[in-house]
Structure 1
Amino acid sequence: MPAISRGEVSYITGAASGIGRALASMLVGQGGLVVIADLNGEAAAGYAAELNEKAGTVVAISVKADTTVWEDQLAGFQQATTAFKRIDYVFANAGIAEHPWLPPFNPETAAERPLVKPDLATASINLTGQLYTASLAFQTFERQDIGPEGFRGKLILTASVFGYFPSRAMPLYAASKAGIINFMRSAAQYYADKHITVNAISPNLVDTPIAPDVLFVPFRERKLLSDLQLVLDQFGKVLGESTLNGQALSISQENVWVHPADTYMLEKNGPACDLISVEIFKLFGDRTN
């Protein structure tokens, strides 16, 4: 299993709890340095202090950041590069469960209710927030030298199996995760020759604080939760000298797979899709082929 090199730096959003917290512990255990970025600044600071006390030296710093606020994220990256000089891995991990975006469907009462503005919080955090993180990752990597493993940096996004599968109860969650998957695949192609890799880890439901505990009860009873260690193992596959790029590493219970890209009708659409990239690069003044 690939691993980070001692002293390499990882920036992790949503790192004060759940998958992000477990990931930070794993990376410190491999000899890495971590930036614990989280909306809950107190929890982030507490966890960083815990990691430092256990290590007997500074292996972690904390950043309070709302990932939907560009200025928060910019300040966090600046704090990280000031403290550790470079960032080798960025884990765009912060996310939330579905928030109802519209009132429940009820034709009997609809006429009595006003038309309401949708709640897009799920998409804002799970898509826009991760794109802010990604944008800062790429610009940070661009400004630093190639590291000992041959990379300027690696971006790993936390997606979900709902990036491929629809959910009648979670339309915004599914939409945001599908957006992350296609963004990952597209960005991986763009950065493939720039010493930067982009991958996504896509678990099914994992027992974390992302939702009220009552939600997990029937999943525990039917043994339908995905194993956190298997999730961490997939993160591990893209670290260090790994050349994996553009992959959606997926986990559901004990099942692990690389989810394939959709190629239906690609042969017919390929020439137009390729040409539009060439022409848009020209339009944007980008020298990428």
Structure 2
Amino acid sequence: MPISPGEVSYITGAASGIGRALATSLVNQGGLVIIADLNGEAGSKFAAELNDKAGSVVAISVKTNTTIWEDQLAGFQEAVRTFKRIDYVFANAGIAERPWLPPFDPETAASRPLLKPDLATADINLTGQLYTAALALQTFERQEIGPSGFRGKLILTASVFGYFPSRAMPLYAASKAGIINFMRSTAQYYAGKNITINSVAPNLVDTPIAPEVLFIPFRERKLLSDIQLVLDQFEKLLGESTLNGQALSVKADNAWVHPADTHMLEENLPACDLISVEIFKLFGDKTA
């Protein structure tokens, strides 16, 4: 659904790729955007381009390392100082898989030290998004209902690898699976609080997230996801949309709502429901 003119969007990873395309689309609809990106120079240049085209201040840039809480906090504070509120938060920043362990090779293993794993992919794709989500939800809680009828909306960029395993991308798959289940869980908690939480989960999209050479065989086999179709899924979650707890997914030119796993759910539901009740008691949360 379209946004209302003047609504404010905070987008991490907005200087390139999906984030950049999303920011451009929102400004074209009359929205205001915060470009939060580790590449401060690219973010500032992009914001200036949007402002020049609009003839007014429709975008600001905040240099943000999403894995650093203080960076993200400062970005949100600057956004509220400038635009007074935030209607949409897009937890979008992410990176591709990095080798977390050396390649499996029993012949040389004994001669190598036991190495600390590289968890950068999980740090950015999971922890960084959770920092963004924590700031979004606390910001929404502190502001009144906006023009579209909500305190705010949180949309997390996930991936189909949040549902499907990948032997070459265990940390990427783990982080995206974490985002999907975080989204489904928090969407239940915030239901009825004028806050929605959803995710958009594409398969591979042609963006700067990975080296150019990686995309060549996917182009040849027409396996890349259409970025406009990805943007269309974000659009479904905006404005007066009441969708909540949904994983809108894209593969090439196909889009679908990915269902939650219900295998053995009926048998486990009594314990799952009761643990929520008891945990809320321990945490002093009055949620039923």
Shift, 1:149, TM fit: 1.8
The residue that corresponds to 1:248 in the other structure is 247
Structure 2 portions without partners, runs of 5+:
none
Given the alignment of the two structures, is residue 10 of structure 1 paired with residue 21 of structure 2, yes or no?
no
TM-score normalised by the chain length of structure 1: 0.99
Structure 2 contact 3–148 (Cα < 8 Å) conserved: no
Please state how far the C-alpha of 1:193 moved relative to its aligned partner: 1.2
Aligned partner of 1:267 in structure 2 is 266
Q: Using the TM superposition, name which of 70-79 and 147-156 deviates more.
A: 147-156
Q: Give the structure 2 partner of residue 193 of structure 1.
A: 192
* 1:99 Cα deviation from its structure 2 partner: 0.5
1:139-288 correspondence to structure 2 within 5 Å:
139-288=138-287
Report the Cα offset of residue 281 of structure 1. 0.6
What code does the residue aligned with 1:165 have? F
Secondary structure (helix, strand or coil) at the match of 2:182 reads helix
Letter in 2 for 1:217: I
Q: Which runs of 5+ in 1 are unaligned?
A: none
- Provide the rounded CA distance (Å) in 2 between the counterparts of 1:72 and 1:169: 31
Secondary structure of the 1:36 match is: strand
In the alignment, the residues of structure 1 paired with residue 2 and residue 274 of structure 2 have an alpha-carbon distance, to the nearest angstrom, of 38
Map residues 45-56 of structure 1 onto 2, 5 A cutoff.
45-56=44-55
CA RMSD, Structure 1 to Structure 2 (Å): 0.4
Q: Residues of 2 paired with 1:114 and 1:182: CA distance?
A: 35
What's the CA shift for 1:191? Answer: 0.3
CA distance in 2, matches of 1:103, 1:174: 18
Give the Å deviation of 1:148: 2.2
* Amino acid of the structure 2 residue aligned with 1:164: Y
Query: Matched residues in 2 for 1:98 and 1:149: separation?
Result: 37
Confirm or deny that 1:108 pairs with 2:107.
yes
Q: Which amino acid aligns with 1:55?
A: A
Contact 2:162–2:180 under 8 Å retained in 1 = yes
Residues in 2 aligned to 1:96 and 1:124: alpha-carbon distance in whole angstroms: 10
Which residue of 2 is the match for residue 123 of structure 1?
Answer: 122
Decide which moves more: 146-155 or 19-28. 146-155
Aligned amino acid, residue 264 of structure 1: H
Once the two structures are TM-superposed, the CA of residue 150 in structure 1 deviates from its matched residue by: 1.4
Following the alignment from structure 1 to structure 2, what is the Cα–Cα distance between the partners of residues 204 and 31? 29
Aligned: 1:62 with 2:61: yes
User: Kindly, what percent of the aligned residue pairs are identical?
Assistant: 82
Letter in 1 for 2:267: K
Residue 179 (structure 1) shift:
0.1
Quote the residue 1:79 is aligned against. 78
CA distance in 2, matches of 1:261, 1:52: 41
SS of residue paired to 1:214: helix
Q: What is the TM-score of this pair, normalised by structure 2?
A: 1.00
Mapped to 2, the partners of 1:206 and 1:252 lie a distance apart of: 9
CA distance in 2, matches of 1:198, 1:268: 27
Residue 12 of structure 2 corresponds to residue 36 of structure 1: no
Q: 2 CA distance for matches of 1:282 and 1:193? A: 20
State the alpha-carbon separation in 2 of the partners of residues 218 and 129 from structure 1: 30
